[in-house]
Chains A and B, each alone.
Chain A
């Protein structure tokens, strides 16, 4: 009896040992497996999936993952641009004068507005940074308002008033952008060159709710003609439009309708949108924006995802963080595929595919002629 009891104990003890051993080695294997799979797997960083759930949502708490301290100047590489012919762009610069004003605030001058200044803002005929407080060094205009979401419309009104009072004669068109909007001025000029600044019209990414003719998304930026600005400023003197609203772009859109300023169609000759309320990735990737997202119901024209979302001659993108500002600057003004014949030809009204074939044929004809001449 004693023996069997001992035997039982012994067997249960060895069972325990066995269990402990097995458990221990299982943990060991598991840890090793984890380690190896981490080391050996290809590391591809996926950006966090950020969706802005409110069409009028502004930029409250910023995730400062991409906080950049310095600045980058892509234009130092003059050597790579010696074969570039900018005559048409320069012609438009003088013909279509655009004053840009950038909505910013004292805390964002160094965080965001600085990168706007280092990139696209230089291409405006005139650029102003609008803040609640003046900053002589940056420089930024002080609108003498408070900061905050509910102040946006008031800031907008004051900003346009300031522009009207001080710079009305210096430009034909007046563009409003945020400090996280990237604007491609060359393409904006091409769009506006087909209209007269004396027309009462404004352009942006057209949304359809609430306003019969539609209104323009604030974040994607919008641009007023000279006549539109004149009427807008006058509307407050005569109280045609209200002064207060917590939704800047909607209030402006309502006012535009009241004062008979037309909401223009900013799409390119192939019907693709030029002003974008998000970064390219959100528009280009099918399924990125879920079908339940507000965006699909807001767009005035049928919204497209995938390559058809965006014009080759896009004008703006929004929610652009500081790294993406430089990324876009590089992709647009610097990196290029040598010798590539772009599919879309903005100056032709023909079908783009046909167009590139015809152009190639024409080019060959021209070169043939040249050869036979010499």
Chain B
């Protein structure tokens, strides 16, 4: 399902072959001989050891190490990860595909996701309740949202369990900033059972609201695929009389496997997964304190906004990936190149 024209890393930047280099700069304590959070080559990034094939690519492991003294107070450990693509797929440190699913009635909505932010995923797959010839989506032949979700996760696990370490599911009206998602997940170990998003408490159950996007680590997906086979814990027909929403169903099933929902926040305590649009959040924040000055509604490192019409997706693309003030720069530890063959980012 890889789209050859969407491959990153076709041109070599660091050496020979079809490779891309990812420079990671980590901070060490001054004088410390060990680097905090050091990982074995690419393994910690969800890729296997050298010469192993991750799908159609392989990783060279750490190519170079060094120490940079940028200022006297800190020493920076520089690690170069070199990850090469034998096929037309590119690898970054952590890799995760994105799942999107929805009913065919929302074609133009899903189309806008495909034309916009999903180009920034390492792999994007679309699940549709019907076989839609217009795009390349996977048909799941059901209109029931929970059944659709089960199938989507099952298929994803079967196809991609060896290639990816993080799995992000989005609804058709959600806009996601994948770079911020990658940065958010950078220091998290995917072999732990993570289930992250915008959490909501419903009685005893804490679940991730699907509107804000659902992030699962490979370990959680592994456990989920097992519990999906258990009809007592995770039945196909959820709920006795009234059907439970599919995101709640997911939480229940995951809970049985010891996977619990986690809310995602930035360093200031602001949610990074949002179930509403920026405009809605602004209005909400200001309606609670009509006569005062309130703090900014949203995080600088927000990952998702939802409830967006197709036009708004295009506006977000421009607003996030292009529109900016001249003369402001950041010293980010990662570099993400824009996807090739795209004109709106």
Contact = CB atoms under 8 A, between A and B. Distances in A.
Contact of A189 (B180, B300, B326): B326
Nearest to B67: A374
B13 A280 contact: no
Given A284-B318, A327-B278, A343-B322, 5 more contacts: A284-B315, A313-B325, A323-B283, A337-B336, A340-B321
A314 to B, nearest CB: 6
B293 A339 contact: no
A44 B319 contact: no
Nearest to A333: B325
Contact of A80 (B172, B268, B307): B268
Closest 4 CB pairs of A and B: A89-B327, A74-B296, A69-B290, A331-B319
Interface residues of A, number: 82
B191 to A, nearest CB: 24
A332 to B, nearest CB: 6
Interface in A67-95: 68-77, 79-81, 83-92
B337 interface: yes
B62 interface: no
Contacts of A69: 286-287, 290-291
A280 B320 CA distance: 12
B332 A339 contact: yes
Contacts, number: 242
Interface string B273-309: 0000011001101110111111111111110000111
Interface string A348-374: 000000001100110110010011101
A72 B282 contact: yes
Find the residue from B80, B279, B292 having the highest chain A CB count within 10 A. B279
B323 interface: yes
Contacts of B21: 364
A327 B168 CA distance: 26
Given A69-B291, A186-B328, A364-B13, A340 B179 contact: yes
A71 B331 CA distance: 31
Interface string B48-92: 000000000000000010111100000000101000000000000
B93 to A, nearest CB: 11
Contacts of B133: none
B52 to A, nearest CB: 25
A34 to B, nearest CB: 16
A88 B278 contact: no
A334 B293 contact: no
A340 B293 CA distance: 32
Nearest to B283: A323
A153 interface: no
Contact of B337 (A328, A334, A356): A356
Contact of A281 (B179, B278, B290, B311): B311
A370 B68 contact: yes
B14 interface: yes
B260 interface: no
B314 A84 contact: no
Interface in A168-191: 184-187, 189-190
A296 interface: no
B343 interface: yes
A83 B332 contact: yes
Contacts of A71: 286, 292-294
A70 B326 contact: no
B323 A314 contact: yes
Counting chain B residues whose Cβ lies within 8 A of the other chain, the interface size class is 35 or more
A46 interface: yes
Interface string A189-229: 11000000000000000000000000000000000000000
Contacts of B311: 281, 284-285, 288
B99 interface: no
7 contacts: A70-B292, A71-B293, A307-B318, A333-B325, A335-B300, A339-B179, A340-B338
A291 interface: no
A330 interface: yes
B289 A70 contact: yes
B330 A83 contact: yes
Contacts of A312: 322-324
B326 A313 contact: yes
A80 B266 contact: yes
Nearest to A66: B283
Interface string B332-344: 1111111000011
B106 to A, nearest CB: 6
A228 B102 CA distance: 57
B313 to A, nearest CB: 10
A222 to B, nearest CB: 19
A326 interface: yes
Contacts of B173: 42, 44
A331 B320 contact: yes
A357 B285 contact: no
A344 B326 CA distance: 12
Contact of B301 (A72, A189, A338): A338
A237 interface: no
A24 interface: no
Given A89-B325, A336-B300, A341-B336, A68 B283 contact: yes
Find the residue from B293, B323, B331 having the highest chain A CB count within 10 A. B323
Contacts of A326: 282, 297
A341 B315 contact: no
A118 interface: yes
B125 to A, nearest CB: 20
Contacts of B78: 367, 370-371
B4 to A, nearest CB: 18
